[in-house]
Structure 1
Amino acid sequence: MATERQLDVIIFGASGFTGKYTVYEAVSVLKDLRWGIAGRNREKLQKVLTEMGGKAKKDLSQTPIIIADVNDEASLLDMAKSCRIVVNTAGPYRFYGEKVVRACIEAGTHHVDVSGEPQFMESMQLKYNERAKERGVYVVSACGFDSIPTEMGIVFVEKNFDGVVNSVETFLVNGAKDVDASSGSAGLNTGTWESAVHSLAHSGELSALRRQLYPDRMPKFYPILKQRPLIFRSTEVDKVCLPFPGSDRSVAMRSQRFLYENDKKRPIQMHAYIGFPSYIMAIVVALLATIFGVMTKFEFTRNLLLKYPSFFSAGFVSRSGPSEARMERTFFKMTMKATGWPNSQRLAECTDQYKEPPTKTLMVKVSGPNPGYGSTCVALLSTAVTILRESSKMPSTGGVLPPGAAFSKTSLISELEKHEHGMKFEILANK
């Protein structure tokens, strides 16, 4: 990478919903760095600086603005050459992400984003991992709510387990401090909805993609962590749980495979769940999710989902996104249950198999405010800061990596805990 660039960080897609709140969080997270914003419309970008500067009580009028458009690859390359890392908030990444990644790699510029789209993340790894390493560039996706709590939660577990971890189960609970006040307003903007629609619509692509990405199968490690029933009451969080439909597990499994192949570390098995207050609510959500999944598979119904997001989400999704009042009240809590063996039972080689069941348990919690647009934006910017400051603690000289592989030896957890809208990592029980 070039040693001197005009800026340290550029927030690309800053006029979008996630982008503008990333600008707001940048006031504190990037306070010691030179940063600017980029997009295709100068007027909209200036409006974001005015709005978010007022919210942060900070004059952002002199913040550099770079004009860059995903349909103009020369402009993307110019943008990438002017900074050390691009923070990319312009999704859906399936349609708009690859050109930005390619421009960054050719410019020798790092890239982070908040994609929760497995097809995008894994295809970028397949296509560009070797080139990124040649150019000394880190490309890291899933740096928001998908999947920093899970990935860094697993890192936190391993640092505090004092033994060998066999498996981790995550139990996510989202909530609002004032349910009545927050009801009736949207919880997501349409960009997140569109990413989910397209990701499910093309989920069939993953099998062939993974066969190319990982032609050799991983060995099995016993005991195998079994998936829990479709609907069950969790004693860990006292909630009725369903399998979590996000990309957390696929991202975590990529990290574990990387750490096994490169660090000779026993991979951690993982399953993810999401909790609801009652069986009725869990059943309703499961039915709606099934209908949503089926509708994404057919062009006509998929177009209906994209055209009428508010109707098909019962008002939860809107083009204007959630209100600030709602965002300020929302929070998440992710309880993680790890099982394994104490150091006294550690085996000589990572490929050795245990003959006894796990005898040790650790419970931890990762929590934070406003998971969609608060904690997500802080996490995204914190990963950028970590790459710039601690690349010597990251694998190799670069590559297309999931967060757990990229940041396992860095101080990202401490960076996340520093900020008002960051994340908190706690030990609940250690047995």
Structure 2
Amino acid sequence: MATETSNRAYHIIIFGASGFTGQFVVDEVARCTSKRSTDSFKWAVAGRSWERLEGVLNQAAERLHMPQLRTDIEKIVADVSNEESLAMMCQQGVVILNCVGPYRFYGEPVVKACIENGAHCIDICGEPHFLERMQLVYHSKAMDKGVYVIGSCGFDSIPADMGLLYTQQQFKGTLTAVESFLTVTTGPEGAVGHDATWQSAIYGFSDSHALRQLRREFGHKPMPVVGARVKMRGSVFFSKEIQQYSIPFMGSDPSVVKRTQRHLHEEEKHSPVQYSAYVGVGGLFSLVKLFCAGLFFRLMVTFSLGRKLLTMFPSFFSFGFFSQAGPTMKQMEDTYFSLTFFGEGYSEGQDNSHGRPNAKICTRVMGPEPGYVATPVAMVQAAVTLLNEVHSLPRRGGVYTPGAAFCNTGLIDRLNDHGIMFSVRSYS
């Protein structure tokens, strides 16, 4: 395993390993380092409680039939409220996998500690304000230290960001615009998200004005538009592409993809792609249910008591979409996602200065349950790619999106090998 900091005790440290998502990341790292895997690296778990970390390793040892996890994996006590403990953790690891959210409350101390102590940082954040603020505040500092801070390396937003890059790679010519449609298929018990994701959404929506102000601070010039300008569809519409009612995707994917496209345009002179993201919500009954939940949500996030009630009773106010317990193992086993990209552009040799695009492409990224199965896979493979292909990453450090960081690496191949599948559906 190639790394410039091989003298450190651990290649990977999972911070927040005893949290709901962290425990699944522990499982995934353990699987990757098993004797049956081609990847082998030293790793440790970190969190506030030594006892809880021990419990997570014991549970993982039992689930995965790996008794060695109880004795071979070191435990590091670290807390976001204790700078010294974060520094000590970061000094021991090459890459920190930060699973402690919501990131707007707990993420910055970890980013700061990683940069100051020379550890790369990967998170699974789906909060645009945090992600973009880290770029604004820490990009230059991370570059100076030779540290990579790569956010949103989970379901938000590796399938979308790497999926669009895959679509560009497969398109023979100039890809000008892409629409993506997410669908999640569940078993008879349905699907449930965990409370931490719900909390991130609450505070993200309540602070949307701050995100607009933050974006003004970047002072970006408008991106050039190649081909016809594509308009966003309505807030609710029936999609002929996926035969479902659909709404705009409210997560971080559009933000992340647009940041990647800006990076590739400004740093590598690539032609930028217009991007719109949507999610299928099913039939009319599902649409009504979602509309009612959304109406409650938008009303209550506007005042402090409402936000408090939303966080206290996630299952009630989300109409069962989120809960403090999270999904069961059965629910996760029966769930999978499909993210389909519909792109258009100009074929090779076609003049793109005028006229409508003359070529279309459809690609797809498919994988297991997105929040707690696909997300750990994506996060861990991002870390393995960073460890093995650091010289293929841009410059010598900085704060990046997954697409900006990994566009010249083999991450897509690694994801294909671990159950997140990229494919071309049609090309005309």
User: Structure 2 length normalisation: TM-score?
Assistant: 0.95
User: In 2, distance between residues paired with 1:372 and 1:255?
Assistant: 22
> Is 2:422 the counterpart of 1:425?
yes
Q: What residue in structure 2 maps to residue 160 of structure 1?
A: 170
Find the residue that maps to 1:143 and give its secondary structure: coil
Offset at residue 190 of structure 1 (A): 1.0
Q: What residue in structure 1 maps to residue 14 of structure 2?
A: 11
Contact 2:225–2:274 (CA<8 Å) still a contact in 1? Answer: no
Bigger mean CA deviation after superposition, 10-19 or 295-304: 295-304
User: In 1, distance between residues paired with 2:198 and 2:220?
Assistant: 32
Offset at residue 148 of structure 1 (A): 0.7
Q: Which amino acid aligns with 1:42?
A: W
Deviations 1:73-119, CA, capped at 9 Å, x for gaps: 11001100101000000000000000000000011110000000001
Q: What residue in structure 2 maps to residue 401 of structure 1?
A: 400
Offset at residue 283 of structure 1 (A): 3.8
User: In 2, distance between residues paired with 1:35 and 1:343?
Assistant: 47
Deviations 1:323-351, CA, capped at 9 Å, x for gaps: 111111111011110100111126xxxxx
Contact 1:171–1:275 (CA<8 Å) still a contact in 2? Answer: yes
Counterparts in 2 of 1:272-291, with a 5 A limit?
A: 272-291=277-296
| Equivalent position to 1:225, from 226, 230, 233 | 230
TM-aligned CA distance change 1:412 to 1:251, over 3 Å: same
Q: Which amino acid aligns with 1:313?
A: S
Q: What residue in structure 2 maps to residue 53 of structure 1?
A: 61
Offset at residue 30 of structure 1 (A): 4.1
Counterparts in 2 of 1:240-279, with a 5 A limit?
A: 240-279=245-284
Bigger mean CA deviation after superposition, 96-105 or 192-201: 192-201
Offset at residue 240 of structure 1 (A): 1.5
Q: What residue in structure 1 maps to residue 126 of structure 2?
A: 116
Contact 2:293–2:317 (CA<8 Å) still a contact in 1? Answer: no
Contact 2:347–2:358 (CA<8 Å) still a contact in 1? Answer: yes
User: In 1, distance between residues paired with 2:127 and 2:282?
Assistant: 28
Contact 1:242–1:282 (CA<8 Å) still a contact in 2? Answer: no
Q: What residue in structure 2 maps to residue 350 of structure 1?
A: none
Find the residue that maps to 2:389 and give its secondary structure: helix
User: In 1, distance between residues paired with 2:113 and 2:235?
Assistant: 43
Q: What residue in structure 1 maps to residue 334 of structure 2?
A: 329
Q: What residue in structure 2 maps to residue 388 of structure 1?
A: 387
User: In 1, distance between residues paired with 2:320 and 2:213?
Assistant: 36
Counterparts in 2 of 1:11-410, with a 5 A limit?
A: 11-31=14-34, 32-59=40-67, 60-61=69-70, 62-176=72-186, 178-179=187-188, 182-183=189-190, 187-345=192-350, 354-410=353-409
Contact 1:236–1:335 (CA<8 Å) still a contact in 2? Answer: no
Q: Which amino acid aligns with 2:416?
A: E
User: In 1, distance between residues paired with 2:62 and 2:79?
Assistant: 27
User: In 1, distance between residues paired with 2:224 and 2:277?
Assistant: 21
Deviations 1:156-185, CA, capped at 9 Å, x for gaps: 101111111101100100011x32xx14xx
Contact 1:233–1:240 (CA<8 Å) still a contact in 2? Answer: yes
Find the residue that maps to 1:361 and give its secondary structure: strand
Q: What residue in structure 1 maps to residue 37 of structure 2?
A: none
Give the % identical residues.
40
Bigger mean CA deviation after superposition, 274-283 or 189-198: 274-283
User: In 2, distance between residues paired with 1:106 and 1:305?
Assistant: 36
Bigger mean CA deviation after superposition, 275-284 or 407-416: 275-284
Offset at residue 416 of structure 1 (A): 0.8
User: In 2, distance between residues paired with 1:279 and 1:345?
Assistant: 42
Unaligned runs of 5+ in 1: 347-352
Deviations 1:341-376, CA, capped at 9 Å, x for gaps: 111126xxxxxx621111101101101011010000
Contact 2:223–2:272 (CA<8 Å) still a contact in 1? Answer: no
User: In 1, distance between residues paired with 2:260 and 2:56?
Assistant: 35
Find the residue that maps to 1:291 and give its secondary structure: helix
TM-aligned CA distance change 1:219 to 1:155, over 3 Å: closer
Contact 1:29–1:382 (CA<8 Å) still a contact in 2? Answer: no
Contact 1:30–1:385 (CA<8 Å) still a contact in 2? Answer: no
Find the residue that maps to 1:373 and give its secondary structure: helix
User: In 2, distance between residues paired with 1:404 and 1:133?
Assistant: 17
Deviations 1:110-163, CA, capped at 9 Å, x for gaps: 000000000100110010000101111110111111111101101110111111
Bigger mean CA deviation after superposition, 278-287 or 142-151: 278-287
Deviations 1:242-296, CA, capped at 9 Å, x for gaps: 1111110011001101111101111111001111321342243134223312311
